[in-house]
Amino acid sequence: MSNAGIPSVDLNDFINGTPEQKIAFVQQLGKAYEDIGFVAVKGHFLSDELSQNLYAQVQQFYGLDLEKKHAYEVPGLAGQRGYTGFGKEHAKGRTEGDLKEFWQFGQWVEDGDAVKAEYPDNVSVSELPNFNSLGKEAYKKLEETGKYMLRAIALYLGLNEFYFDEFIHNGNSILRAIHYPPITNEPKSAVRAAEHEDINLITLLMGASAEGLEVLNKQNEWVGITALPDQLVVNVGDMLQRLTNNKLKSTTHRVVNPPREKWGTSRYSIPFFLHPRSSMKLDCLAECIDAEHPIQYEPITAGEYLDERLREIGLKK
């Protein structure tokens, strides 16, 4: 166990382990996702070196003049590529903007798939020649890790192991590089990121630069968690909760402001939001419906659901 009750698992047990280790991984992961919705994962594909190099590039980007950063803000994309300025996103049900700015990398479609027409191009940062190449490399490593996590989840749900593969191939995933700047004035009510649930299937978070991430456990207590150097923190998003008719738990989490003596420090965080293709149906799985668990959600596609949620958090008008 690590992180005050967040279970720790080793993906290597699933990919390269014995049949018994693979089964044990599936059960451990599934139970964690039913109970709290978060796990710490080692044995993944993202190296510490790549993570550190990307963080260094991200810090350099946020050190650019505001005018230069705003040159990478693309109108009409709802923040889905490039830069989004400070305070523009808020949690669902809130109006106060979160105390952050962010950059988003999206999918690179390189196999002639017609889905490419749905996605805007990624935005290149001319001042930092390694920014985009490192972003792409991290995106692909996290996407590969997520594929195996979803294979384990599929088995736990009684589905074919490769159930999710076709839906996440060239999926609408996002790698988001977030900067929470130093806090210069007493915040009215805003925190760095107000309590929320993620929109997507699963989120993979490489180690953030400072503490602050908290999850709400079953006892209604906020528990602080940190991704250790060799681990990713991987949590269930609302799309997977919806698909599984609430069997797997999309946990409420937040990023709190640091103690006053640390207000002068920045915080950086790089989550990977694993989304399926927009055409994937999120209708509740038959395997997750019975007399005790009647259907909780209306049918909807991933694309329709994403659009609805982007409006709720203020990124889309």
Residue 249 sits in a domain of what CATH number? 2.60.120.330
Write down the pLDDT at residue 94.
Answer: 58
The amino acid that residue 97 corresponds to is: G
Please give the Cα distance from 107 to 120 (Å, whole number).
9
Query: Higher model confidence: residue 109 or residue 2?
Result: 109
Ranked by mean pLDDT, which of 161-165, 179-183, 232-236 comes out on top? 161-165
Nearest to 232 by CA among 196, 191, 202: 202
Residue 188 confidence class, pLDDT cut points 50, 70, 90: low
* Structural domains of the chain, count: 1
Do residues 99 and 152 lie in contact, with contact meaning Cβ atoms separated by under 8 Å?
no
Share of the chain above pLDDT 70, in %: 91
Residue 2 falls within a domain, yes or no? no
Domain assignment present for 202? yes
Question: Does residue 90 contact residue 313 with C-beta atoms inside 8 Å?
Answer: yes
The pLDDT, as a whole number, for residue 7 is: 87
* Per-residue confidence (pLDDT) for residue 91, from 0 to 100: 61
Instruction: Evaluate if residue 52 carries a pLDDT over 90.
Output: yes
- Give the residue numbers spanning the domain of 281: 8-312
Q: Where are the alpha helices (DSSP H) in the chain?
A: 11-16, 19-35, 48-62, 66-70, 131-156, 165-168, 238-243, 302-312
Query: What average pLDDT does the segment 228-243 reach?
Result: 92
Contacts for 139 with CB less than 8 Å, ≥ 6 apart: 105, 108, 173, 175, 272
> What was the pLDDT predicted at 1?
35
CA distance 204 to 231: 10
Average pLDDT, the chain: 90
Query: Is the pLDDT confidence value at 250 over 50?
Result: yes
Average pLDDT over residues 27-51: 94
Domain-located, residue 1: no
| 190 band by pLDDT with thresholds 50, 70 and 90 | low
Residue 225 Cα distances to 2, 161, 244, 294, angstroms: 9, 30, 25, 33
Q: Which two tokens stand for residue 124?
A: 């290149």
Average pLDDT of the segment spanning 35-39: 88
- Hunting for tokens 């109006």 — which residue is that? 95
Residue 240 has pLDDT above 80, yes or no: yes
The two structure tokens encoding residue 164: 């999710």
Amino acid 77: pLDDT:
83
Neighbours of 225 (CB within 10 A): 23
**Average pLDDT score over residue span 50-71:** 95
> Which pLDDT score, from 0 to 100, does residue 2 have?
43
pLDDT attached to residue 151: 98
Residue 93 has what pLDDT? 65
Which residue type, as a one-letter code, is found at position 17?
A: G
How far is residue 269's CA from residue 272's CA, in Å, rounded to a whole number? 10
Q: List pLDDT tens digits, range 111-154.
A: 999 999 999 999 999 999 999 999 999 999 999 999 999 999 99
Q: Please give the angle made by the CA atoms of 150, 152 and 157, to the nearest 5 degrees.
A: 90
* Structural domain includes residue 241: yes
Tokens of 289: 């419906």
The two structure tokens encoding residue 238: 């609302």
Is residue 3 one of the residues assigned to a domain?
Answer: no
Q: Which of 208, 246, 270 is nearest to 37 (CA)?
A: 246
Structural Rg of the chain based on CA atoms: 19
Nearest by Cα to 44 from 82, 8, 5: 8
In a domain, 222, yes or no: yes
Whole-number Cα distances in Å, 26 to 17, 42, 105, 220: 12, 15, 30, 26
pLDDT of residue 196: 85
Mean pLDDT of 265-274: 91
Percent of the chain's residues with pLDDT above 90: 66
CA dihedral 302, 307, 311, 314 (to 10 degrees): 90
Q: How confident is the model at residue 90 (pLDDT cuts 50, 70, 90)?
A: low
